[in-house]
Homo-oligomer: A and B are copies of this chain.
């Protein structure tokens, strides 16, 4: 899939998509809910993967740190996103809550068993895994090919896309500049200057450090997809 096509409106596949009422009920029986305070950790890199999670409310952040201390943010996760679906025996990254959040937890073992019995469920999981890989490939493309202000547009576009309906143009930046920098492979100063540049050029407006509005969506798109 090309970087462009992320713009397709994905109807946000869930594991429930197309399941029978009976199957959905069985799945429901597995689910428990967990509430997270801002800053709280959901799980840690290298710990055994025992559950799959779906975000119900709030925003989470997936990150990876090297022994020498630098870190790479792998994703910002929204309601409807899944965590832990494609993993191996151990989690690939650390996950923490950027805001107060509620996640649904599904124990991995019965979830896998149920996949054996429901082709549709298995298919849904496969789709979600594909989406995660596609997202990661987009990120590789962005980090490999784009300049600072283009990477910022890449993020703005991702956030506006997934943000609840109405005013997708006004964006709440829940995360810190450091989080953004670590996501885009930049420094906070460069991120800050990139925002400044976009504002000077009239492409976005910055109300506060954590609220921006996209004035010219086409240009943002164009920069986000620029190679």
Contact = CB atoms under 8 A, between A and B. Distances in A.
A178 interface: no
Most chain B CB within a 10 A radius of its CB, from A4, A139, A141, A184 = A141
A104 interface: no
A32 interface: no
A8 B133 CA distance: 22
Contacts of A28: none
Interface in A132-165: 132-134, 136-137, 139-141, 143-145
Interface size class of A (residues with CB under 8 A): 35 or more
Contact of A66 (B67, B88, B130, B227): B227
A208 interface: no
A133 B49 CA distance: 15
A115 B123 CA distance: 11
Given A1-B46, A116-B119, A88 B127 contact: yes
A63 to B, nearest CB: 10
B70 A227 contact: yes
Contacts of A93: 1, 137
Interface of A: 1-4, 45-46, 64-72, 74, 86-88, 90-93, 115-116, 119, 122, 126-127, 129-134, 136-137, 139-141, 143-145, 182, 184-185, 225-227
16 contacts: A1-B45, A1-B92, A2-B65, A66-B141, A66-B145, A66-B225, A72-B145, A74-B140, A86-B86, A86-B126, A86-B129, A122-B122, A136-B140, A140-B140, A143-B185, A144-B184
